[in-house]
Amino acid sequence: MKSLVMAASVAALAAGGAWAEEGKVKVGMITTLSGGGAGLGIDVRDGFLLATKMAGNENLEVVVEDDQRKPEIAVQLADKMIQSEKVDVMTGIIWSNLAMAVVPAATAQGKFYLSPNAGPSALAGKGCNPLYFNVAWQNDNLHEAAGAYANDAGYKNTFMLAPNYPAGKDALTGYKRTYEGEAAGEVYTDLGQTDYAAQIAQIRASGADSVFFFLPGGMGISFLKQYANSGVDLPVVGPAFSFDQGILQAVGEAAVGIKNTSQWNKDLDNEANKEFVAAFQEEYDRLPSLYASQGYDTANLLLSAMDKADVSDAEAFGEALKEADFDSVRGKFSFGNNQHPVQDYYVREVVKEGDVYTNKLIGPSLTDHADAYAADCKM
Amino acid sequence: MTRETILNTFLFLLLPATALAAFALDEPFIITLATKAAILALAGVGLNIALGLGGLVSFGHAAFFGLGGYAMGILAAHAQSYTPIMESPFLIEGTKSMPVIWLVALAVSALAALLIGALSLRTSGVYFIMVTLAFGQMLFYFAISWPAYGGEDGLSIYVRNGFPGLNTLDPLTFFGIAFVILAAVLFFAGRLARAPFGLALSAARQNAERVEAVGLAPFKLRLVAFVISGAVTGLAGALFADLNRFVSPTMFSWQTSGEIMIFVILGGVGRLFGPVAGAALFILLEHVLGGLSEFWHIYLGLLLLLVVLFARGGMIGLIAGREVAHD
Amino acid sequence: MSFILLIEQVLNGVQSGVMLFLMAAGLTLIFGVMGLINLAHGSLYMVGAFAAAAVAAATGSFLLALVAALAAAALAGCLIEMTVIRRLYDRDHLDQVLATFALILIFSEGTRFLFGSFPLFLDIPAALSGPVMLPGGIQYPLYRLVIIGVGLAIAAGLFLLIARTRIGIQIRAGEADREMIAALGIDIAKLYTLIFALGAALAGLAGALVGAIQSVQVGMGEPVLILAFVVIVIGGIGSIKGALIGALLVGLTDTLGSVLLPLFFANFMEASAATSVGSSLASMSIYILMAGVLLFKPTGLFGEA
């Protein structure tokens, strides 16, 4: 008798849960809000929340947690989101190593994951998943765009530089995938290295005609300041990460004129982008960054799917997401078979507008570009 | 019963009580937090054997914590991809069996502690603190840049490892496993402190010359203590990795060493249950303060300062009185 | 690798060693006289860099920025010495490690609270920017040369201070016998605050000088702190001479290791594997150096047991 009552109440609970959540979506955002690298997470969060605020959709509820950039903490927060908060969709992670720790477990437990920044290759190829959508780029993409730009610019002998960790190795692989010239040198630096004098001396001695580097965050700031002061004046190209709105002010004059590659810039000419840039400045009183644009697009993608399907029907909701029927701030945006972006990549140049360092759009680098791992994805 | 014994019993029962209450209220995440507290307490108990009993201030216990974690990660990763770890000279396969993983974690971290201890124990005082830190950093950089097992990305294990006859995926069961191990190790550590070995070690901490005079070698005593301490922390590392189903080089970072030390000091150095109190309090703070403010580290720092400056003997010392009871 | 490149890399190693010395000198003085391990020394480095960046942004003067860095770090040093550190002198190292670890947390997040999460801008003055030509055809950034000069001048000043002045005599007396100087009627509390502030000011100056060519951000002090500890352990804790030699050894090992090890492995390995293995070993090299030194001299090169 007792077990029967139990079973009945469980059924009622389950049914009650389903009714209560009709049309509602609960989003769990795990991102980096404290410690080093907090700027990126804050931008993703602010972009995402701006879009939800503008949409005014009351069916969308967002829970935000800080992972402190520690993978162990991210995993525990994911457990919390799934077990206690009972979220439907997860998002927010900035770093590939944290994404690798969280995403496979989240999708295995039936949660949608929309990546607003990291795009590790393992999740784009064999490890692709119907519940995992990348709304930013596959990790190699921006480097591939840099390699394509190097060809256009006529570089024949590039010196390449990246930190000694998986994303650094992916960066050089990505660059070399499109770049057709020779390698004047390949150097891996310490992760978190602050002094690049030794590497700059190597660049000077290498006989290179150009420099490609991937040094995200503070590493890029240090490198650019030291490079500008070294007397080496080879042209530099790199992905947008070292030239983003958040850190450009800290690099200052040393960055001006440098070409970098990105899928977005604040002067991209489309209505959605104009609205986004104006609204972001209005709301937060600063220029939006690449990361903010990605957070904003992620929220709008989610909102577009909510209009079409109920999240409790995973298949229909997945289909709705895959249509990517929203006005992306990047203009064209669609998903490939592995649910990673097929989009255009641009070359930007760092300029000074008044007192503010920012980027100006130069032209396209790669168009309708997917990623190299899509073929491995059986989906 | 002394006040400390009563307090220890209370603390000891607090963890399972929390887990059971969370189970009744259907808050599985609280069970996860209780499990985390039990595992981190275990790491602290390990450190406390070197620190409290032997007076060896190791700032490099993250090395053993990480090695235990990677023992789990590497074995399980090979088992999950059905590739052997090595084929020649003899075949070694991966495994997803917790008891085997624990044994390997214990063995690997004990071996590492033997090597690191044999070198570091030649020094003392601040030098010892810094040498142990250096060994931890060596392993940290090695783990980041060594590509075979994911480098900085770490290793994800998709399904928690198994224990014969138990469903380890159930949060409460896994809590039970961690808690039983913690209890067993606490019992062992308590016995160790009162055994002739523990008494000799304590004596060597207080007056090395006198111990030498009665014919015991302080170096050997300390080395054995350091090895036991490292092995226990390594076991905690393997459990921690299983809790997260994930390992990464951050387990090797000097901040991890610092945190393990915090558990011990928050609770009370040299007190058997100090790390249990310390770890539980730390998790509670992280959970509560972290929810209140983005800048919660400021409050954590202030609290730590207050404990160090005004509550010598840690939380247990504060409540139970300053003398370290010999129970 | 050409000879000129090697010379240039040696200069780079010396430059990073000299900056490490500014950090290590304070640490080793504080340890030598007061017997205190100060993990928060890296936070004072960060305070110096942030103060310099803030003042440079407001006034545009690099010189004022350096003054501000010195003042802010010394002030912060005085403040924590009088409120916290003072209570730790007669505690064991464990309490010191934990309390100063707590200070790191407070300083780091406090700085983020005040200055935000994005890195700040601090640039070298125009007069010192760009490279100069050294004899032998070596092109080298002027600012780095100036840093080497400033660092060596400060090292010389410290030696003079300790060898020739009244304060120096008190410092040496304090290192030799702490009870003794109290008996001599010296105001110990004041002396300790002064030494701590001096160490803090040196760290703050290093932060500002290095901040101009690196990224001024929260947490910037922690990697330097660990390196500075390696330096003073190699040199022998409490010895200024040891700190100078240790700092140069660490700077040179770190710089030359990262350049030479990949080349070395390229002799018998495929290029990209050699880069990878060489870089991995290079990042561990200074810790291996430290372990090696301690094996032969358990109290460092110039330390006393």
Q: What is the pLDDT of residue C305?
A: 53
Please check whether residues A111 and A224 belong to one and the same domain. Answer: no
Strand order across the A112-115 sheet? A60-66, A25-31, A89-91, A112-115, A132-134
Residue C124 to residue C140: CA distance in whole angstroms = 15
> How far, in Å, are A64, A163, A336 from residue A145 at the CA level?
32, 19, 18
Report the C-alpha gap between B245 and B158 in whole angstroms: 7
Bridge partner residues of A341 (DSSP): A335
Residues forming beta bridges with residue A353, ordered by sequence position: A356
CB B222 within 8 A of CB B204: yes
Bridge partners for C164 per DSSP: none
Of the candidate ranges A315-319, B44-48, B83-87, the one whose mean pLDDT is the lowest: B83-87
User: Which of these, A282, A277, A207, A220, lies nearest to A248 by C-alpha position?
Assistant: A220
Same domain, A121 and A156: no
Q: Which residue type, as a one-letter code, is found at position A149?
A: Y
Can you give the pLDDT at residue C297? 86
Sign, Cα dihedral of C200, C205, C208, C210 = negative
Least confident of A104-118, A329-343, B169-183, C291-305: C291-305
Residues A169, A175, A179, A184, Cα dihedral to 10°: -50
N- to C-terminal Cα separation, chain C: 42
A215 belongs to a structural domain: yes
Q: What is the mean pLDDT of each run of 10 residues along chain C (305 residues)?
A: 83 93 92 88 96 94 95 96 92 87 92 85 87 84 93 93 85 74 78 93 95 88 89 89 94 91 84 78 88 85 75
- State how many domains chain C has: 1
Q: Which residues of C touch A204 (CB under 8 A)?
A: 5, 8, 139
* Parallel/antiparallel/unpaired status of strands A334-335 and A236-239: unpaired
Task: Write the pLDDT tens digit of every residue in A153-197.
Answer: 999 999 999 988 888 888 999 999 999 999 999 998 888 888 898
Put simply, the chain C residues between 69 and 128 with a CB less than 8 A from any chain A CB are: 108-109, 112, 116-121, 123-124
Please give the Cα distance from B101 to B75 (Å, whole number).
7
Q: Is C246 within the bounds of a domain?
A: yes
Of C63, C76, C62, nearest to C199 (Cα)? C76
Lowest mean pLDDT among A11-20, A47-56, B246-255, C14-23: A11-20
Quote the Cα angle for A19-A22-A24, to 5°. 130
End-to-end C-alpha distance for chain B, whole angstroms = 10
Question: Could you tell me if A289 and A241 are in contact, meaning their C-beta atoms sit under 8 angstroms apart?
Answer: no
Which amino acid is present at C92? Answer: D
Q: Residue B1's pLDDT is what?
A: 57
Per the CB < 8 A criterion, the answer to whether A130 and A318 are in contact is: yes
Which token pair is A254? 């040393």
pLDDT at A16 over 50: no
Other Cβ atoms within 10 Å of C173 Cβ, number: 16
CA distance C64 to C71: 10
pLDDT in tens, B84-141: 887 777 778 888 899 999 999 999 999 999 999 998 998 888 889 888 988 999 999 8
Q: Which residues of A touch C279 (CB under 8 A)?
A: 164, 187-190
Total residue count of chain A as it appears in this document? 379
- Of chain A, the percentage scoring pLDDT greater than 90 comes to 63
- List CB contacts (< 8 A) between C259 and chain A: 198, 201-202
Of B144, B265, B298, the CB nearest to C94: B265
Does A35 share its domain with A106? yes
Q: Are residues A360 and A296 both part of a single domain?
A: no
Rounded distance between C-alpha atoms, residue B115 and residue B140, angstroms? 17
Task: Name every residue whose Cβ is closer than 8 Å to that of residue C191 and which is 6 or more positions away in sequence.
Answer: C33, C167, C170, C171, C174, C181
What value does the mean pLDDT take over residues A134-148?
95
Note whether residue B326 is domain-resident: no
| pLDDT of residue A1 exceeding 50 | no
Chosen from A98, A165, A190, A219 to mutate, greatest number of chain B CBs within 10 A: A165
> Residue B39 has what DSSP assignment?
H
ipTM above 0.85, yes or no: no
Are the C-beta atoms of B225 and B50 separated by less than 8 Å?
Answer: yes
Domain CATH for B63: 1.10.3470
pLDDT of residue B327: 38
Residue range of the domain that includes A365: 141-262+345-376
C301 found inside a domain = no
Looking at the fold, whether A28 and A129 belong to one and the same domain comes out as yes
- Please tell me which residue of chain B has the smallest CA distance to C284: B138
- Judged by average pLDDT, the poorest of A240-249, B54-63, C205-214 is A240-249
What subunits touch chain C, counting only 3 or more CB pairs under 8 A?
Answer: A, B
Res B271: pLDDT: 85
- How far apart CA A86 and CA A235 sit, in angstroms, is 50
List, in sequence order, the alpha helices (H) in C60-141.
62-83, 93-115
Which residue does chain A place closest to C255, by CA atoms? A198
* Average confidence (pLDDT) over A313-328: 94
Q: Give the bridge partners for C131, in sequence order.
A: C141
Residue B325 lies in a domain: no
Cα-trace Rg, chain C: 20
Size of interface A-B (CB pairs under 8 A): 81
DSSP B268: -
Strand-pairing partners, residue A160, are A186, A212
Alpha helices in C84-187 (DSSP H): 93-115, 142-164, 166-176, 178-183
Longest CA–CA separation in chain A, Å: 85
Do A353 and A225 lie in one domain? The reply is yes
The pLDDT value recorded for residue B321 is 66
Q: A358 and A239, same structural domain?
A: yes
* Residue from the list C5, C118, C130 with its beta carbon closest to the beta carbon of A231: C130
Q: Which two tokens stand for residue C15?
A: 């430059």
A95 torsion bin: left (phi>0), alpha (psi -120 to 50), beta (else): beta
In a domain, A118, yes or no: yes
Q: According to the model, what pLDDT value does residue A7 have? A: 40
3-class DSSP assignment, residue C244: helix
What is the CATH number for A49?
3.40.50.2300
- Looking at the fold, whether A199 and A328 belong to one and the same domain comes out as no
Task: Please report whether residue C304 resides in a domain.
Answer: no
**pTM to 2 decimal places:** 0.85
C-alpha span between A120 and A168 (Å, rounded): 12
Distance from CA of A351 to the nearest CA of B (A): 33
Distance from CA of A325 to the nearest CA of B (A): 32
CB B249 within 8 A of CB B154: yes
The verdict on residue A1 lying in a domain is no
Read off the pLDDT of each residue in A41-50 and give the average, rounded to a whole number: 95
Distance separating alpha carbons of residues A207 and C2, to the nearest angstrom: 13
Question: Taking the alpha carbons of A262, A268, A271, A274 in that order, is the dihedral positive or negative?
Answer: positive
User: In this structure, is residue A213 part of a structural domain?
Assistant: yes
Q: Is A350 helix (H, G, I), strand (E, B) or coil?
A: strand
Side-chain half-sphere CA neighbours of C156 within 13 A = 6
Domain assignment present for residue C303? The answer is no
Q: Are residues A193 and A276 in the same domain?
A: no
* Residue B166 structural domain: 3-320
Looking at residue C186, its pLDDT comes to 76
B115: CB partners within 8 A, 6+ apart: none
Q: Provide the domain count of chain A.
A: 2
- Which of B137, B147, B301 is opposite residue C287, by nearest beta carbon? B137
CATH of residue C56's domain is: 1.10.3470
| Pairwise CA distance, residues B291 & B288, whole Å | 5
Which carries the bigger pLDDT value, residue C292 or residue B324? C292
**Residue of higher predicted confidence among A46 and C171:** A46
Distance CA A35, CA A3 (A): 50
The string over A316-329, giving b where at least 16 C-beta atoms fall within 10 Å of a residue's C-beta and e elsewhere, is ebbebbbebebbbb
The pLDDT value recorded for residue C23 is 93
The parent domain of residue C250 ranges over: 3-296
What average pLDDT does the segment A280-308 reach? 95
Q: Which two tokens stand for residue C131?
A: 């490279």
Cα C242 to Cα B323: distance, rounded to the nearest angstrom? 40
Quick check: B66 and B308 in contact, CB under 8 A? no
* Residue from the list A39, A195, A254 with its beta carbon closest to the beta carbon of C117: A39
Contact residues, B window 262-321, toward A, CB-based 8 Å cutoff: 290, 294-297
The pLDDT of A210-220, averaged and rounded, is: 90
CB atoms within 10 A of CB C264: 15
Whether residue A31 is found in the same domain as residue A119: yes
Is the domain of A304 the same as that of A351? no
CA-CA distance, B285 to B314, in Å (whole number)?
A: 15
Q: Is the dihedral of CA C287, C293, C298, C299 positive or negative?
A: negative
Q: Is residue C50 part of a domain?
A: yes
Backbone dihedral angles phi then psi of residue A29, each to the nearest 5 degrees: -110, 120
Counts for chain B of helices (H) and strands (E), in that order = 13, 2
Does residue A73 sit in the same domain as residue A110? yes
Alpha helices in chain A (DSSP H): 2-20, 38-55, 71-80, 96-108, 121-124, 141-153, 166-178, 197-206, 218-228, 245-251, 271-284, 290-308, 314-323
Q: By the 8 A CB rule, do C87 and B308 touch?
A: no
d(CA C19, CA B324): 45
**Is the confidence at residue A6, as pLDDT, over 80?**
no
Kindly determine whether residue C103 and residue B305, on different chains, have CB atoms separated by under 8 Å.
Answer: yes
- Predicted local distance difference test score (pLDDT) of residue B126: 83
Burial bucket for residue A338 (CB in 10 Å: 0-12, 13-18, 19+): buried
Highest-pLDDT range among A344-348, B49-53, B197-201, B312-316: A344-348
pLDDT for B260-306, tens place per residue?
998 888 888 888 898 999 999 888 888 888 777 777 888 888 988 98
Whether residue C269 lies inside any domain: the answer is yes
Residues 6+ apart with CB under 8 A from B147: A166, A169, C276
